Amino acid sequence: MNFGINLQSIVPVRKEPLHTSEMTTQLLFGELLRIYQTKDSWHQVRLSWDNYEGWIPENQIQVIDEQEFLRLLNAETPVVMDLVQLIANESQKTMFAIPLGSSLPGLEGQFFTVAGENFHFEGQVSDTSGVEEIEGPQEKKEFYHNLVEDAMMYLHSPYHWGGRSPFGIDCSGLVQMVYRLRQIKLLRDASQQATQGEVVNLLDEAEPGDLAFFDDEEGTINHVGILADRFRVIHASGQVRIDAIDHQGIYDGKLEKYTHKLRLIKRII
């Protein structure tokens, strides 16, 4: 098995090793992966954050050895909190833009190193302490508030199947990335995310930051959003937006109709 890291801004991960195949997710800068096989200049990979699998052109990632992979995997890894920010590759004397949610493994001050290449970053980064540092109800309330505020940063981002950035994002990508900013791991697809956390029995018992899941006529979970409160949900549908929600589902005030049927609510934290 080989290992790799994305040192480009955004890399699409595809279902099959073909240029015309469907994009299923994206790798943002600094995210790690395992390489299982190579076929016709494509790597079959498994992403370290959520174990998602797919195919990436071999020239779009940096192959690293196992020792470097484990060093980066176990390093404190803040993520970028600016919508978009410049990062400098000082070894190559280049600069390029990386989006909100990009990873900065092993960042110390404003510098980190990957496979002998030195990077410099001066933007805003997340706290790496995580949810385990929450001690009392006031800290928990503040954590939820910050989680919802993070979700607001993605407002009006266009919908893009498989997207995970402010330049294009899907419903489960939005949920995964908002929790990623707070160092909480969620799986990639809505149906997978619905298996995590604890069930909240009623919408009236929900808290900001809880996840609302929606299903189709066959009962398949096909949509997810983040509750801003018991009356509003932040979700990606056409674009990242805020809509009204009740026990039936999401109500679009402009269309004057329900667009998504509520299936269940889960509390991750």
- φ, ψ for residue 131, nearest 5 deg: -70, -25
What gap in Å lies between CA 251 and CA 232, rounded to an integer?
10
- Estimate the share of the chain in helix, then strand, then coil, as percent rounded to the nearest 5: 20, 40, 40
Annotated catalytic residue: which of 43, 120, 171, 247?
171
Q: Is 171 a catalytic residue?
A: yes
Looking at 156, 235, 247, 260, which residue is catalytic? 235
Contacts within 8 Å (CB) and 24+ apart, 112-116 = 114/5, 114/7, 114/30, 114/62, 114/64, 114/68, 114/72, 115/5, 115/62, 115/64, 115/68, 116/91
Contact in structure between 75 and 46 (CB atoms under 8 Å): no
- 223 catalytic residue (yes or no): yes
Identity of the amino acid at 98? I
Q: Catalytic residue among 160, 223, 247, 260, which?
A: 223
Report the candidate in 237, 233, 240 with the shortest Cα–Cα distance to residue 255: 237
Indicate which residues carry an active-site annotation: 171, 223, 235
